[in-house]
Chain A
Amino acid sequence: DTGVSQNPRHKITKRGQNVTFRCDPISEHNRLYWYRQTLGQGPEFLTYFQNEAQLEKSRLLSDRFSAERPKGSFSTLEIQRTEQGDSAMYLCASSLGQASGGYTFGSGTRLTVV
């Protein structure tokens, strides 16, 4: 078990381009979460999945954002037509149900939109 893996670690893109991030959770974890963190702030919830079902989406997740977890294993987060305000650290986390021990975060993907 290598923990939660996120790829890529860093992504620099030009405004208007599309980007996709991948998250591989801990294998037996059925819940997967996406958060976004900007400088000086705590992580903000974006969305979460239980198995392949997307159960909740934040209003932060505009129609340019889409997340999938097609087989209940890895997940992708796509941002279309990126804007400079999308520059942030995108964090993925996973858990087995409602985890009394919190959930396990990956190291994140840092997105810079230029």
Chain B
Amino acid sequence: DQQVKQNSPSLSVQEGRISILNCDYTNSMFDYFLWYKKYPAEGPTFLISISSIKDKNEDGRFTVFLNKSAKHLSLHIVPSQPGDSAVYFCAASRGIQGAQKLVFGQGTRLTINP
């Protein structure tokens, strides 16, 4: 029972363009969502989060959009840089104030081409 799904295992984007990573969830009890970035041989690093009372959160080049009716969230990276090449995981949690037990998607490998 995959409650959080990232249907694209990989994505390749030109440097300077927009990267859009997508995530779908099935459990309507989730009310806090996060994106993590992972480099090889390192643990995941927190990137950005959004609670279900919002539909958008922005932090520099990173914006997360939440569509609760569609149970869908996306991460936009603009402009994409070579250092953004990594595996990106979306995660969901109950608890509107922040992360508790997280349910992760399978990840999307993003490659930024010079």
- A-side interface residues toward B, CB under 8 Å? 4, 33, 35, 40-45, 48, 56, 91, 93, 95, 97-108
Q: Interface-forming stretch among B13-21, B66-74, B77-85, B97-105? A: B97-105
Contacts of A102 in B (CB 8 A): 34, 36, 46, 49, 91, 98-99
A107 B98 Cβ-Cβ under 8 A: no
B95 near A44 with CB under 8 A, answer no
The complex places the Cα of A100 from the Cα of B100 at a distance, in Å, of: 10
Q: Given known contacts A4-B43, A102-B49, A105-B43, is B99 in contact with A44 (CB within 8 Å)?
A: no
**Complex: how many Å from CA A100 to CA B103?**
16
With A35-B102, A101-B49, A102-B91 already in contact, 8 other A-B pairs whose C-beta atoms are closer than 8 Å: A33-B101, A40-B106, A42-B4, A91-B44, A97-B98, A98-B95, A101-B98, A102-B98
